């Protein structure tokens, strides 16, 4: 799928360039397209190298949290809820522990730990599957929750914003939490509806209802503030929460007598590897998006959507971030390239730049997760997994747009 997206960008750019040259008499479009390839390649390299320090810092901190037991602490906290959401998993079965650990690692942004734990959980769920080539209800719900991107610490998003010069890289923290809540909650409710999964027991209601009340109270409080007060309160709460988590990780590590320096360096080394490793992918996607924008095709498509939105009387600023929402279910690297290109072109503190970050962090690559997780156990009949996953993606996008207007107006 990513191959088609990447090649499609170049093909559309070529057609748009021909139209501007032959029909509109703009031969300079070819110089602009070629220049964009050099500019975007340079940008991709600079951004990736610039990410190195911040990625080393955050992955070092995350490794301290992981070794200190933050994942286990979250796992114990959410175990009662997950045991009821996955009724097909017998008490004490290894699949239950793997599900809890995977989702806890995802919440902390520990992709390095979350993916192998997720594959392990899927293999263990497959042992309980009476039809090996058809996805079970538990496997589908597990995939939908993974695809809805349950994220508490959006490390990568904040890192990109810091690298591209955002005044406050953490200002998307609370909007992203609310948007990812929307995608996850809708994913759970829709899947439970399809599977006729009872959600009325006291434990499930307490967890889901409690989180909903907290998010609702947060949104309600934000609605009472004017724009300047909202920015101050958001910055304070976001930065206080993030730094409190860092201190909490250190305290947990101290409690378990984890060697601070060695553990931090171990995680930081991985951060260096990650930052350098994304250079080819980021350059490839930024060049493809750059030629698409330089050819005029991207702007023309967005202008058409913006015209339709304007005709029905709606604000059209969100349209600039629409490409991220369209590519996100298909390709993580593709949507990441679009986010960086939007922030580079329109500014990290522009409405579209912030919205693109919220969209990127509030949903996951549904088709990629489905292919990897189901493919690892040989499942061919995915049943309602795609429909439920895309519904969660849509809820995350709508939530991201709504909350971005609330916070960034």
Question: 3-state SS string over the chain?
Answer: CHHHHHHHHHHHHHHHHHHHHHHCCCCHHHHHHHHHHHHHHHHHHHHHHHHHHHHHHHHHHHHHHHHHCHHHHHHHHHHHHHHHHCCCCCCCCHHHHHHHHHHHHHHCCCHHHHHHHHHHHHHHHHHCCCCCCECCHHHHHHHHHHHCCCCCCCHHHHHHHHHCCCCCCCCCHHHHHHHHHHHHHHHHHHHHHHHCCCCCCHHHHHHHHHHHHHHHHHHHHHHCCCHHHHHHHHHHHHHHHHHHHHHHHHHHHHHCCCCHHHHHHHHHHHHHHHHHHCHHHHHHHHHHHHHHHHCCHHHHHHHHHHHHHHHCCCCCHHHHHHHHHHHCCCCHHHHHHHHHHHHHHHCCCCHHHHHHHHHHHHCCCHHHHHHHHHHCCCCCECCCHHHHHHHHHHHHHHHHHHHHHHHHC
| CB within 8 Å of 115: residues ≥ 6 apart | none
Question: In degrees rounded to 5, what are phi and psi of residue 134?
Answer: -120, 130
Contacts of 163 (CB under 8 A, 6+ apart): 47, 50, 51, 54
Q: What is the predicted pLDDT for the residue at 194?
A: 93
Q: What is the chain's pLDDT, residue by residue, as a tens digit (409 residues)?
A: 557 777 888 888 888 888 888 888 888 889 988 998 898 888 878 877 777 777 788 778 878 887 888 777 777 787 888 888 888 888 777 788 778 777 777 776 666 556 777 888 888 899 999 998 899 999 999 989 887 766 777 777 888 888 888 888 888 888 988 998 999 999 999 999 999 988 888 989 999 899 899 888 888 888 888 878 887 887 888 788 778 878 888 888 888 888 888 888 888 887 788 777 778 877 887 888 888 888 888 888 888 888 899 888 889 899 999 999 888 887 777 788 889 889 988 999 999 999 999 998 888 778 778 877 888 888 888 889 889 989 999 999 999 999 999 998 7
* Residue 381, beta-bridge partner list: 134
Q: What are the CA-CA distances from residue 97 to residues 93, 145, 296 (Å)? A: 7, 16, 51
Give the Cα separation of 62 and 71 in Å (integer): 10
Q: What global pTM score does this model have?
A: 0.83
Report d(CA 33, CA 258) in Å as an integer: 52
- CA-CA-CA-CA torsion for 340, 345, 347, 348, nearest 10 degrees? 0
Per-residue CA distances from 95 to 107, 142, 294, 369 (Å) = 18, 11, 49, 18
pLDDT at 96: 80
Residues 166 and 135 sit within 8 Å (Cβ to Cβ): no
């Amino acid at each position: 799928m990513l191959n088609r997206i990447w090649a499609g960008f170049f093909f559309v750019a070529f057609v748009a360039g021909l139209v501007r040259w032959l029909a509109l008499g703009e031969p300079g479009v070819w110089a602009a397209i070629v220049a964009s390839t050099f500019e975007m390649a340079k940008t991709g390299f600079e951004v990736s190298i610039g990410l190195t320090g911040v990625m080393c810092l955050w992955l070092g901190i995350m490794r301290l949290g992981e070794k200190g037991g933050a994942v286990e602490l979250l796992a114990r906290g959410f175990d009662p809820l997950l045991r009821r959401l996955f009724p097909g998993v017998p008490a004490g079965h290894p699949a239950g522990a793997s599900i809890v650990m995977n989702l806890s690692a995802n919440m902390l942004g520990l992709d390095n730990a979350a993916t192998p734990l997720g594959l392990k959980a899927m293999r263990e769920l497959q042992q309980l599957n009476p039809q090996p080539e058809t996805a079970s209800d538990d496997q589908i719900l597990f995939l939908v929750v993974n695809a809805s991107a349950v994220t508490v610490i959006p490390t990568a998003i904040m890192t990109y914003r810091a690298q591209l010069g955002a005044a406050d890289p953490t200002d998307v923290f609370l909007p992203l939490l609310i948007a990812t809540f929307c995608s996850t909650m809708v994913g759970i409710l829709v899947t439970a509806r399809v599977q006729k999964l009872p959600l009325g027991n006291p434990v499930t209601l307490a967890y889901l209802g409690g989180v909903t009340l907290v998010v609702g109270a947060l949104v309600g409080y934000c609605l009472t503030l004017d724009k300047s007060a909202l920015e101050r309160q958001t910055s304070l709460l976001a930065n206080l929460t993030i730094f409190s988590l860092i201190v909490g990780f250190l305290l947990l590590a101290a409690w378990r007598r984890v060697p601070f320096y060695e553990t931090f360096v171990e995680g930081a080394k991985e951060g260096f590897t990650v930052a350098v490793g994304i250079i080819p992918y980021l350059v490839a996607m930024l060049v493809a998006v750059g030629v698409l924008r330089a050819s005029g095709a991207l702007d023309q498509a967005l202008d058409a959507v913006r015209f339709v939105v304007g005709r029905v009387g709606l604000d059209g600023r969100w349209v600039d971030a629409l490409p991220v929402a369209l590519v996100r279910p298909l390709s993580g690297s593709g949507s990441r390239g679009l986010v960086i290109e939007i922030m580079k072109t329109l500014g990290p503190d522009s409405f579209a730049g912030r919205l693109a970050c919220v969209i990127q962090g509030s949903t996951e690559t549904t088709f990629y997760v489905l292919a990897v997780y189901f493919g690892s156990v040989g499942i061919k009949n995915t049943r309602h997994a795609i429909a439920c996953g895309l519904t969660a993606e849509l809820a995350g996008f709508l939530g991201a747009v709504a909350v971005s207007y609330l916070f960034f107006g």
